[in-house]
Amino acid sequence: MKRKKITVIGAGNVGAACAHWLAVRELGDVVLFDIVDGLAPGKALDILQAAPIDGSDVSIIGTGSYADTADSDIVIITAGLARKPGMSRADLLEKNSSIISFVTQRVVKYSPAAFLLVVTNPLDAMTYLVKQVSGFPKNRVMGMAGVLDAARMRYFIAQELEVSVADVTAFVLGGHGESMVPLARCSTVSGIPLSALMSPEKIEAIIERTRNGGAEIVSFLKTGSAFYAPAAAVGQMVEAILKDKKRILPVSALLEGEYGISNCYVGVPVKLGGQGVEEVIELDLLPDERSALGRSHQSVRSLVERLKL
């Protein structure tokens, strides 16, 4: 059976980590693209030379030609500038929007049937831009955010309680930024509600740390942002699509009336499978949760309006 083809646009830290994650799990043949001369071929070769050790047996091509990305099943867009200390994701809007618009036009030319998975910040606004430029149906354009944010929250809960991360579930709604809405009510440890295991003060501290999870890493790195966890989150989404797993995952998806939101990309739980975003799961939110999601939506909406599409 012909292997799937996965293209990663951008061979920086996130893109290269994605390529490695995908290759190790043998989800398909990987094309790593970057406009910087030699960057993608060099990182692709490095990953390939790890293959005899980790046992992966897929093709990895590093290239600066969009023609090599032709007929991809999934295209992961990581291109753009990363945050620096003191920057919000919104600060990246103007520069990254021009990059993403250019990239999307070329990706669509060579892979008109692909799923497009956006990682570039500000995530929700960039995903909306990709949807508009590509003209693809909404099920084939999505953003990676909630899987990462929920993973951060799961780790913080496990760390606080000194339990396995495997037993922790967490859910995060809203835009990928400081206005995100970590849902403590829907977060559990082996089915046990958080409220039965820790104080309200500790829960609130975890919620706040989750909101600032990316910024905390940026403050340590000084000259870059997170890439291992984002790459793993991308990999989980790619696997759900290519293996038609029907996973219920938090994804930045286009809403058309769900949660009272229309024509905007916001993080919500979806069924992710062989057709991409197959269903938006609409939770019955409490009034304060709905209000928080509304504020997060308005934050995303304000960025989209600045795109001047």
| 212-243: pLDDT as tens digits | 999 999 999 988 889 999 999 999 999 999 99
Give the pLDDT confidence of 267-281 residue by residue, as tens digits. 999 999 999 999 999
3-class DSSP state of 18: helix
Binned at pLDDT 50, 70 and 90, residue 87 comes out as low
CA distance linking residue 98 with residue 306, whole number of Å: 12
Give the pLDDT confidence of 98-124 residue by residue, as tens digits. 999 999 999 999 999 999 999 999 999
Task: Give counts: helices (H), strands (E), the chain.
Answer: 9, 14
CATH 3.40.640.10 fits 5-143, yes or no: no
Contact 19, 12 (CB under 8 A): no
Q: What is the pLDDT of residue 135?
A: 98
CATH of domain 146-306: 3.90.110.10
Nearest to 6 by CA among 61, 49, 52: 61
Q: Is the previous residue joined to 182 through a cis bond, with omega within 30 degrees of 0?
A: no
Cβ partners under 8 Å of residue 217, min gap 6: 225, 226
Evaluate whether 5-143 and 146-306 have a shared fold. no
**Could you identify the residue written with the tokens 């057709």?**
275
Instruction: Identify the sign of the CA torsion 246, 247, 251, 256.
Output: positive
Could you tell me what percent of the chain has a pLDDT over 70? 97
- The structural domains of the chain, with segments of one domain joined by +, span 5-143, 146-306
CA distance linking residue 243 with residue 253, whole number of Å: 20
Give the pLDDT confidence of 125-161 residue by residue, as tens digits. 999 999 999 999 999 999 999 999 999 999 999 999 9
CA distance linking residue 14 with residue 195, whole number of Å: 35
User: In this structure, what are the phi and psi dihedrals at residue 36, rounded to the nearest 5 degrees?
Assistant: -75, 120
Instruction: Measure the CA angle with vertex 247, ends 196 and 100; round to 5°.
Output: 110
Q: What is the pLDDT of residue 89?
A: 60
Catalytic residue positions? 176
Q: Is the pLDDT of residue 183 over 70?
A: yes
Q: Can you give the pTM of this predicted structure? A: 0.95
Contact 161, 203 (CB under 8 A): no
Binned at pLDDT 50, 70 and 90, residue 83 comes out as low
